[in-house]
Amino acid sequence: MELPISRHAFTGGESVVDYLEAYEVDLFLTTNVKDAQRVIDENGCATAIVKPPPTTKGKIPKGQVRIAFDGDAVLFDESSEIVYKTEGLTEFHRQEDAAQDISMKDGPYALLLRKLATLQDRLPFSVEFSPVRIAIVTARNAPAEMRVVKTLRHWGVYVDELFFLGGMDKTKVLEAFRPHIYFDDQDLHLKKISETYPAGKVPYKTDSQLKDK
């Protein structure tokens, strides 16, 4: 995909993080782990540590930008993920079902998703032919799926495709979606898909309970 990039910044080896606000950056992609960690810790913008270039090229439809996101700790905050990691799947399902009418808090990519959804609304195309296509691919499944659906409704956000996989491998679904890039917080879900499509790891905050787990 050819991008008409016209702006550049040369910082003499210094970090570019200080200039993200000046450039009004909504998404910061980097191979520098320290820079990514700093942006996440400061709530600067959506940030990911990009994986090495894919070893095989997946086929992506022309004329359309396709972006896929994980849910917990990416679009939504990490509180539900912490319950799953510390108290197990049964308790996670119980709590999420009980709280299905309570919207989840924003994760690091919530604002970016809202801006993409707003862009979709403003473009003069029907949903079927929109040049921006969004997918959420999450390991959640029933009875934890309704909280996601109701949270998106509360946010006023439309997504084109939404997958609740319940522990299934995400790779085949993502290969079928054919994203320009996929964002997830876990290497487990990024390893295979990053061999075919661009992928980025969303880091946890330094003080997160999920850090280094």
pLDDT in tens, 70-83: 999 999 999 999 99
Name the β-bridge partners of 69. Answer: 136, 183
Q: Residue 61 in contact with residue 200, Cβ under 8 Å?
A: no
Residue 5 banded pLDDT, cuts 50, 70, 90: confident
User: Is residue 70 flagged as an active site residue?
Assistant: yes
pLDDT of residue 213 exceeding 70? no
Homologous superfamily (CATH) for 56-201? HAD superfamily/HAD-like (3.40.50.1000)
Share of the chain above pLDDT 70, in %: 97
pLDDT of residue 126 exceeding 70? no
Burial class, 5, CB count within 10 angstroms (exposed 0-12 / middle 13-18 / buried 19+): exposed
Measured distance CA(74)–CA(31) in Å, rounded: 18
Catalytic residue among 18, 35, 41, 70, which? 70
Residue 6: C-alpha distances to residues 3, 9, 30, 181 (Å): 9, 10, 19, 22
pTM: 0.92
Quick check: helix, strand or coil at residue 29?
Answer: strand
Name the β-bridge partners of 68. Answer: 135, 182
The DSSP code for 59 is P
Would you state the pLDDT for residue 128? 66
Residue 122 banded pLDDT, cuts 50, 70, 90: confident
Report phi then psi at 18, rounded to 5: -65, -15
- Whether omega before 203 lies within 30 degrees of 0, making that bond cis, reads no
Only one residue has tokens 């320290």, namely: 34
* Segments making up each domain of the chain, as ranges: 56-201
